[in-house]
Structure 1
Amino acid sequence: MTARVTVVVATRNRRDVVARSLVHHECPVILVDNGSTDGTPAFVRQAFPSVEVVELGENRGAPARNVGVRRASTPYVAFADDDSWWDPGALAAAADILDAHPRLGLLAARVLVGPNNLLDPICEEMARSPLPVRADLPGPPVLGFLACGAVVRRDAYLAAGGFDDVVFFFGEEERLALDLAANGWGLAYVDEVVAQHHPEPPRDPRERQILAARNAVLTALMRRPWIVVARTATGVALSGPTGCRALFDSVRRLPQALARRRRPLGAIESDLRRLRQG
């Protein structure tokens, strides 16, 4: 049977983690290596010869996934982190759902975290989405997702530009979700499609907070009305030393963000307000 889904995994210096996760993948896998120095590419080629390995030679962050999507020959692409995988049969089910819903550009799956299978809090929020139900979508409409629990329609993803190097990493999903919606694609949370995520504790939680705040400002700059940009930046500035550092870091990326700024999203803004209020 011809594959309908390719799994794209981006990694960097996580050879031992990759060794544990790759055994779980059922579909064709493209692993994109962000300049690892721990021998990850050679290890994967030897231990998992069916996995296509692409070496970038540098750390491109989240946009490394774009390379994998372009190389995929299937109509749908599922993302996995190097510490995540999909439940048996999940991607076949996702492909069936995408086949049956031609406006669905991105399927956001249920993500279970760790050995205790705890539901990721973001999935709880998506399941309770206050956006109006759409008859042509298989679940609650959303304007966000977790990358390690997403299956995309390849052509829709590429037309939306994939992940960008302004945000680079962490919170990279937001701008892509907005652009998919602006292009007329639906995004929906589908609870019956399940991904497993087994992350290690973050090495530097404060650094992740800084990245999240910085990238919220940059995403607002690229796509949101100026009043939202001002509100976002003010909230970050008032959040203390972490916020100040985030704003400082965002200044270095301002030229890139402004160069990619597009007209605010109009009708999508009302959905974003509803999500914020809901």
Structure 2
Amino acid sequence: MAEFEVTGASVDDITQLGEWAHDEGWNPGRSDGHAFFPADPGGFLFGRLDGRAVASISAVRYGTDFGFVGFYIATPPVRGQGYGIQVWRAGIERLAGRTIGLDGVIGQQENYRRSGFRRAWNNIRYEGVPAGDAGARPGDGVRLLHARTVPLAQLAAYDRRFFPAPRDTFLAAWVSLPDRTALAAVRDGELHGFAVRRAARGACRVGPLYASSPEIAATLLDALAATAPGTPLAIDVPDVNQQSVRLMERFGLTPSFEAARMYTGPAPDVDLAGMYAVTSIELG
């Protein structure tokens, strides 16, 4: 009889995880694992059948009371055999006592509801080659800087407006990896926007996209698009931010994928009006 166990991930496992996510059509960033793994090295679990990885989940702890679930995958040959649910239970147990978030694909949302998750909004992936800057201007005094030049403490404090827990280690890697462009919109020393574009096998991913106005969001998006002219972008937009939905439409992007942001317990109090795109559907 085959032996099944759930264990922590190795560095090589994280590479495998990116391959599985690509096979699922999620189009992860090429180097995302280099930022994901340091965020919580113990938070990536693999189900192994006779030593061979066949299922996965990430159950990443943030701060003292929040966690996020992602990468819930059972490989096609073992689906329907109960291995995926064993990995799921191990991930949820790791986050016991915390509010837990996830982005649930349509086919799994009913299962997540049975586990106590409730929908807060949908993240809609808009995709395509941006059609110019939609005529927006950020206003006087706004400068775009490379986010790598902004003090990390300032960047992390700004991120906390949009994410319910500190994640400084993750952010440090997220903005510094070589295959991405990270921009900050600054006025009089204050952050008014932050955005990151990263390479992927398909359309380049953009996330987060934070801004204090649609004009600043448009300027950031146009600047990111200009770093790779003619390259498609993929942006996960909270549908509750209608200004962001309209912005994507003005840039000529169209929906290609949808997932429900779900939480156990009350949805965290974050600045949805300024969140034009979430950072990732894998780690929040």
Question: Do the two structures share a fold, i.e. TM-score over 0.5?
Answer: no
TM-score tier by shorter-chain length is under 0.3
TM-score of the aligned structures, taking structure 2 as reference length: 0.27
**Structure holding more strand per residue:** 2
TM-score of the aligned structures, taking structure 1 as reference length: 0.28
